Amino acid sequence: MSEDLEEEALSIQLEAEEKMEKSIQSIRVEFQSIRTGRANPALLNRIHVEYYGAATPLQQLASISVPEPRMLVIQPFDKSALQEIDKAIQKSDLGIAPNNDGKVIRLNIPPLTEERRRDFVKLAKKIAEEGKVAVRNVRRDANDQIKKLEKDKHLPQDQSKDHQEQLQKLTDRFIDLLDKVALEKEAEIMEH
């Protein structure tokens, strides 16, 4: 009986680790959409274009290339979508005016001002903090499941404590990783 409980507790731990890993991946994806001084196609990830009555992600309507470190070129698969893509970029929070020559749209990424850089660093810190909260919530839920096993199914208290300690170590590891990822993003933002 105790072996089954131990296996169930390990399964809870593994599931928690998976969820924490997904939180880190989600934060990395969010960080990609924060503008730095360099051109990055991920800047356009959140832009949706009105296309035949449906809000469609820009990446599904055009190829996006980086011919120069500070320029993105957007080439629609369907030329009729060019005007709508232009409008969507203008309405977005990018703060970059599109240059439309009738065939492609060029986005010149201006260097960030010091104030803009600080704003983006604050945004990165906020996103990282949300990631930490998500990781801690995973730990809390897993700990609750372990405590329930201890209470309902009589998982020995020492085993329960061991699993909770392992969950804490796991949480610490992922929080440290998040801090590292956030520092890297901040350095990238502040880079001139």
Q: Give the model confidence (pLDDT) of 68-79 as tens digits.
A: 888 999 999 999
Are 136 and 171 within 8 A, CB to CB? yes
pLDDT attached to residue 192: 63
pLDDT attached to residue 2: 65
pLDDT attached to residue 60: 92
Are 107 and 66 within 8 A, CB to CB? no
pLDDT attached to residue 1: 46
Domain ranges of the chain: 2-33+114-190, 41-108
Counting as low any pLDDT under 70, the low residues of the chain are 1-2, 192
pLDDT attached to residue 139: 97
CATH number listed for the domain at residues 41-108: 3.30.1360.40
pLDDT attached to residue 128: 95
Alpha-carbon gap, residue 132 to 164, rounded angstroms:
18
CATH number listed for the domain at residues 2-33+114-190: 1.10.132.20
Q: Is the pTM of this model over 0.75?
A: no
pLDDT attached to residue 92: 83
Integer CA distances (angstroms), 180 to 19, 85, 92, 98, 174, in order: 19, 36, 30, 34, 10
pLDDT attached to residue 69: 86
Q: 3-state secondary structure string, the chain?
A: CHHHHHHHHHHHHHHHHHHHHHHHHHHHHHHHCCCCCCCCHHHHCCCEEEECCEEEEHHHCEEEEEEECCEEEEEECCHHHHHHHHHHHHHCCCCCCCEECCCCEEEECCCCCHHHHHHHHHHHHHHHHHHHHHHHHHHHHHHHHHHHHHHHHCCCHHHHHHHHHHHHHHHHHHHHHHHHHHHHHHHHHHCC
pLDDT attached to residue 43: 83
